[in-house]
Amino acid sequence: MDLGVVMRPELAPESLAEHARRAEAAGFRELWLWEDCFRAGGIAAAATALAATARIAVGLGIMPAPVRNAAFAAMEIAALARLHPGRFHAGFGHGSDEWMRQVGAKPTSQLSLLEETVAAVRDLLSGKTVTVEGRYVRLREVALDHPPGSPPLVSVGVRGPKSLELAGRVADGTVLDALSSPAYVSWARERIQAGLSAAGRTGGHRLTVYAWYVADAAAEAAVRRAAEATRGGQAAFVTPDVPLSDLAVTADEETAARTLSALERAGADCVVLASPDPGAALEYGALAALRLRAAH
């Protein structure tokens, strides 16, 4: 199982290159970025992180599908994939309801829009000429002049059962939000597999799981507050009796190792650590021992 880190979008974008270099120097396999309204744009941030590093993979989880034209999104993803082969991992999602309403982009059917967008983007990245007249995505004989030789993975960041089944039908992977307990990860895997089976797909499906990293009492309190506000498919698994080690990775190495092992057994292919403090960055070097334990 891989171990990655998140650079939160609340941090100044001019610090991104240095954060990316530090995460790579600490030996992490992946750096993930969030495209939150109204902070730094995800594609620009991903391009900066990729250009500042040589080996670490950069994931964008996620771009809100309601504000991304499928053809133009595919153009951006293809450019990054060709400039940095094998190092970019794209992601789409529904987007925050509040933010999508705020920018006038809340669709009537989130599921339809996400499915149409991901299907079209993946077809374009694979070099196909796409003509589609969907409910939201309408393309006429669109093809990329420079498709990537090896298309990057396109994941969806979702929570609930219908969206997870959609992920299995059309995406290469799924990104699960923080507060994903091993029980929830296992349940999500089952929903994804149902989608894979319904679509007759037999390939692999990568499961990336965000996890809060709790290093002190303030971080624990932040996680507890987040747990009280959780929603969607996760909510049924975030109950008052669930231990902290099921909802976050703690600073205690033995406990953290058990949490990571449980997530791996539940189906996680990569766990990505994030600070629960919006204004703080993880101490990448200090997490090197945990990274080594995860690798073994």
Question: What are the pLDDT digits (tens) for 200-249?
Answer: 999 899 999 999 999 999 999 999 999 999 988 899 999 989 999 999 99
In degrees rounded to 5, what are phi and psi of residue 153? -65, 140
Task: List average pLDDT for each run of 10 residues in the chain, which is 296 residues long.
Answer: 95 97 95 96 98 98 97 98 98 97 97 98 98 98 98 97 98 98 98 98 95 95 94 91 95 93 97 94 85 65
Structure tokens at 186: 């296992």
- Is the distance from CB of 35 to CB of 8 less than 8 angstroms? no
pLDDT of res. 225: 94
Closest listed residue to residue 213, CA positions, set 248, 180, 247: 248
pLDDT of res. 178: 97
CATH number (2.60.40.420, 3.40.47.10, 3.20.20.30, 3.20.20.100) of 2-295 reads 3.20.20.30
State if pTM tops 0.75.
yes
pLDDT of res. 294: 64
Q: Which parts of the chain are beta strand (E)? A: 2-7, 30-33, 57-60, 63-64, 88-93, 130-133, 138-142, 154-157, 173-176, 206-214, 248-250, 270-274
pLDDT of res. 288: 76
Q: Between vectors from CA 165 to CA 164 and to CA 170, what angle results, nearest 5°?
A: 100
pLDDT of res. 231: 86
If you search the block for the tokens 């991104």, which residue do you land on? 16
